[in-house]
Amino acid sequence: MSLITTILGRLVKAAITLLAIAVLNFFLIHAAPGDPAAVLAGEAGAADPLFIAQLRERFGLDQPLYVQLWSYVKNVLTLDLGYSFRQGMPVYDLIAQRLPATLLLTLSSFVISLSLGIAFGVAAAARVGKASDSVLTTIALLFYATPLYWAALMAVLVFSVQLGWLPGFGYETVGSGYSGLARAWDILQHLILPALTLGLFFMAVYMRMTRASMLEVSQMDFVKTARAKGLSGPVIRRRHILRNALLPVVTLAGLQAGQLIGGAVLTETVFAWPGIGRLMFESLEARDYNTILGVFLVSAAMVIVFNILTDIVYRIVDPRIGAKS
């Protein structure tokens, strides 16, 4: 089966999965307690029954649930995610404004966690049983055992408040007027703390998986044959062990994409990072149904894209998978 055929098949499955997720999220959100019209009326200081009824009629909340569902599904199929009554703008435009910040954070964290995890895993496997192996393993477990929100708060307290090395909040310096490379450098400085906080948490998982996988592959017959031919240790690890040991790591990376996006909610909230994770948190407080559903749908789409990319990388790392399928 060719790579293009495989991608097309994955896209068809992805569309069906997204539609099912949209319907499920719709029922879950509407089953939650709270009335968005009452919340909005309360903020306006006019929470009388008549005003609430007018708001419910305006936003279609007075319609039967199946009518709301049918209207929502039709809109989703045309990429119309509804209107945010809290933000006063279409949900599609609102998410489009916030999505680049989330993509920047999650992709940076993914690269940090995967690259450091593989590097430390290879180093630990090469020195198994030695003090350096124990040190690397302990550091990885320490990062993984530390609650993400606590690590984020400590990072702000130490590196921003106490040392003043890096900015602790926001996407860029407000009112700086930077442009070009100066603006890029400013954004990079704001990105370091949230990306490292989120990336180091997941780095521990990839390190443990890489270490265990390399130790397992190193005992296989083809590796023993390479040693018998007189190949050096670094060459064997790079050409024979690491390539095969990466297969479960790639699989795990794809599966953990959803957790990475979930972790971004906490990270964006602590660091005031203006992404869709923080938007979801704000929308949950305001009972902004349309925005919540839109963020959930976009997050699910990001996870599915991560998994499709994982399948492609898997076939590149191990071409036998494409030959078998």
Q: What is the pLDDT of residues 94-113, one digit of tens each?
A: 888 888 888 888 888 888 88
Secondary structure E strands in the chain = 83-84, 89-90
CA–CA distance from 19 to each of 16, 127, 291, 302 (Å)? 5, 48, 17, 14
The pLDDT tens digits for 179-238 are 788 888 888 888 888 888 888 888 888 888 888 888 887 777 777 777 777 777 677 776
Q: How far apart are CA 155 and CA 167, in angstroms?
A: 10
Report the 10 Å Cβ neighbour count for 243.
13
Looking at residue 32, its pLDDT comes to: 66
| Six-digit token string for 232 | 């050096």
Neighbours of 238 (CB within 10 A): 12
Q: Which fold has domain 98-322?
A: MetI-like fold (1.10.3720)
Q: Which residue spans of the chain are classified as CATH 1.10.3720.10?
A: 98-322
Buried b (16+ CB within 10 A) or exposed e, 101-110: bbebbbebbb
Helix axes 49-58, 36-44, angle to 10 degrees: 120
Distance, CA of 21 to CA of 19 (rounded, Å): 5
Q: Which residue has the tokens 């293009």?
A: 4
Would you state the pLDDT for residue 31? 72
Kindly state the helix (H) or strand (E) to which residue 220 belongs, with its residue range.
Answer: none
Write down the pLDDT at residue 319: 61
Give the pLDDT confidence of 49-81 residue by residue, as tens digits: 776 676 676 667 677 778 878 888 888 888 888
What residues contact 262, with CB distance under 8 A and at least 6 apart? Answer: none
134-153 pLDDT per residue, tens: 888 888 888 888 887 788 88
Inter-axis angle of helices 276-286 and 91-126, to 10 degrees? 130
pLDDT at 248: 80
